[in-house]
Homo-oligomer: A and B are copies of this chain.
Amino acid sequence: MPSMFPVLDMPQRLLMGAGPCNVHPRVLRAMACDVIGQMDPEMTACMDETAELYRQVFCTKNRHTLLVDGTARAAIEAALVSLVTPGMKVLVLRIGRFGLLLTEIVERAGGIVCPVDVPWGEVVQVENVKAAIEEHEPSLLVTVHGDTSTTTAQPLQAIGELCKEHGILFYVDATATLGGMPLLVDAWNIDVATGGLQKCLGGPPGSAPITMSERAVKAIMARRHDEAGIRGTAPQGDGPVIRSNYFDLAMIINYWSAERINHHTEATSMLYAAREAAQIALEEGLDARFLRHRKAGAAVAAGIRAMGLEVYGDDALRMSNVTGVWVPEGCDANRVRTLLRTEFEIEIVSSFGPLTGKIWRIGAMGVNAAKHKILLTLAAFEAVLAGENVPVVRGAGIDAARAAWEAQQ
């Protein structure tokens, strides 16, 4: 006899961590649409529409804008394994854990990592980038936009200028900011940017948008090697074969273009989710959406401070959608998180590496960048902290958050 389990019955928890966050109900419903064949005209039309929606989300005219079938990390790897050739020098800006992830992926793709490090909580200054470019002469510069591990956002525009001047390809991991903070792919000279659904776009993890400039596509297509079994008469590239088949962007570009050369089977339900998430974001309007995320971040920070706690990091550098909170001396950080979850059905999270157990992170992204969700989270947080004998000013956090939400422009 097979051993079975009860019907799936997940709690309705408020996810105020660093992602995934709660999914917009329209996105959940979109996934219930019937699956159709991967080459049916309605399917390819849906792929084309989704590409057009993400062009707008990425603020780009890039023809080659598509989805990688996997979580945000899948698109990062697709970008890097397709851009990095063995022995290529890659400048990696590292402002937190996810800069270390980029390092890891570049190394595994055979690249030589030239790191530019800053202490966690800071960002890389443009003059240091310039010096590093002159020292290492890299072919590619890669960075995270918003690193949730440190809650800081790396300014990108001046770096894009530098890359353009020096003829360096520029990759940005925008997993945690796409749809929540401005990311102007064309205006900032970003060659490749990737995102995820499960942060500011209010979708589930499992599909990852990517956009590529013509310059990047040229570099990638120079490595075109269609797989045996489906290779036609199209000319192949003379560059080194991309080390991955699943993440071979040259093949994925052909799959998403009018050529429609068969590659993997598109993850249909996740495609529907990605399309719906982008549509919702654009209906709201990107500027309105960025303002809502700023209001949310300002409200969380103001609430935390009024309560009597300290916000992690430099206000000028912080992301608007994830806020770090220093754990007060003597407080059991994990116990606070557990009580929030078990008594209030609210999730907040810890961080990584040097910040493990040192800060909590409160996210307010996508549908959760909402006034009521922040106010209720602060109410619950205050109650739990008070119960743990942390000295908090009762009621002050909520009042300050309400005011900050309204004040933020």
Q: State whether the Cβ of A388 lies closer than 8 Å to any Cβ in chain B.
A: no
Residues of B within 8 A of A264 (CB): 70-74, 205
Q: Which of B34, B149, B204 is the one whose CB lies under 8 Å from A13? A: B34
Cross-chain contact A40 with B245 (CB below 8 angstroms): no
Contacts of A275 in B (CB 8 A): 5, 8
Given the known inter-chain contacts A5-B49, A244-B108, A279-B4, please indicate yes or no for A40 contacting B341, CB distance below 8 A: yes
Contact yes or no, B245 A108, CB < 8 A: yes
Question: A33-66: which have CB < 8 Å to B?
Answer: 33-40, 42, 46, 49, 52-53, 56
Number of interface residues of A (CB under 8 A): 95
| CB atoms of B46 and A34 under 8 A apart | no
Q: Which of A20-28, A128-136, A314-322 contacts B (4 or more CB under 8 A)?
A: A20-28
Q: A31-B28, A268-B205 are in contact. Are A229 and B77 (CB under 8 A)?
A: no
Query: Cβ of A258 < 8 Å from any Cβ of B?
Result: no
Q: How far is the CB of A2 from chain B (nearest CB, A)?
A: 4
- Interchain CB contact under 8 A, B108 and A229: no
Q: Tell me, rounded to whole Å, the shortest Cβ–Cβ distance linking A56 to chain B.
A: 5
Asked whether A282 is an interface residue with its Cβ less than 8 Å from the other chain, the reply is yes
Given contacts A5-B279, A15-B36, A56-B3, contact A228 B10 (CB under 8 A): no
Q: Does A265 contact B (CB under 8 A)?
A: yes
Residues of B within 8 A of A52 (CB): 3, 5
Which of A160-168, A346-354, A389-397 contacts the other chain?
A: A346-354
Check if A31 sits within 8 Å of B347, measured CB to CB.
Answer: no
Q: Choose from B10, B53, B73, B243 the contact partner of A243 (Cβ within 8 Å).
A: B243
A40 to B98, CA, bound (A): 22
A56 touching B2 in the complex, CB below 8 Å, given contacts A34-B13, A227-B100, A352-B230: yes
Residues in chain B near residue A247, CB distance under 8 A: 244, 246
Compute how far the CA of A9 lies from the CA of B43 in the bound complex, rounded to whole angstroms.
11
A269 on the interface (CB 8 Å rule)? Answer: yes
With A108-B245, A230-B353 as contacts: A37 and B204 at CB distance below 8 Å = no
Q: Which B residues touch A17, using CB under 8 A?
A: 37
Known: A71-B265, A245-B105. A29 touches B30 (CB 8 A): no
Shortest A81–chain B CB gap in Å is 8
A239-261 to B contact mask, C-beta < 8 Å, 1/0? 00111111100000000000000
Q: Closest B-chain residue to A100, C-beta based?
A: B229
A104 at the A/B interface (Cβ < 8 Å)? yes
28 contacts between A and B (CB under 8 A): A2-B285, A4-B53, A8-B30, A8-B33, A8-B46, A10-B36, A10-B46, A10-B272, A13-B36, A13-B40, A15-B37, A20-B35, A20-B38, A28-B34, A31-B31, A69-B71, A70-B74, A70-B267, A71-B266, A73-B246, A73-B265, A74-B246, A81-B244, A104-B245, A206-B269, A229-B353, A243-B243, A269-B273
